[in-house]
Amino acid sequence: MTVDATVEIACDAGQCWALLCDPRLIPEWVTGVAEAHVLASDEAGRPIQVRFGGMPSVGSLDYVMAYRYDDAARVLWWETLPGADRRITGEARLIELGPGRCRLDYALGSKVGDTVPPWARASLAGDTPEKVVRSFQRFAEARAGRAGA
């Protein structure tokens, strides 16, 4: 894994893993993603195909992602299905640092096709790995704070 961004999170690794492995929560912490609908789940009930819709205020950019999980290593992989206008691949790894602390290592590959409108290209360019990990950090720490309250 070539890490594009990393962040320490004041949240239990198990709780972070549960949050990270639920793509239905992505609209709560990824800017530009307005909705997520599970299309298929694995035998454990985890989403393995999810349709995302984004940026409804200026238009719509929909795509379907496939997910794979390694619970023992706390690694999550995702990629768009073939034929998408936007090719996305990624990997996230959670490393336990001690009680109530973990580190998120994050890698993202993205290629925008010629059919994606200019307004979407500009918005997508701002979704950097650093912004994504910081958003997840805030989201997970807020959730951990609510759980501990």
* CATH code assigned at 19: 3.30.530.20
**Domain for residue 84, yes or no?**
yes
**Domain for residue 123, yes or no?**
yes
Cβ count near 94 (within 10 Å): 25
**Domain for residue 53, yes or no?**
no
Block residue for tokens 């602390």? 101
Q: Which of 2-11, 80-89, 103-112 has the highest mean pLDDT?
A: 2-11
pLDDT of the residue at 111: 62
* Cross-strand partners of 80: 65
Domain that holds residue 22: 5-31+68-148
Quote the pTM value. Answer: 0.83
**Domain for residue 100, yes or no?**
yes
Residue 89 is given by DSSP the state E
Number of compact structural domains in the chain: 1
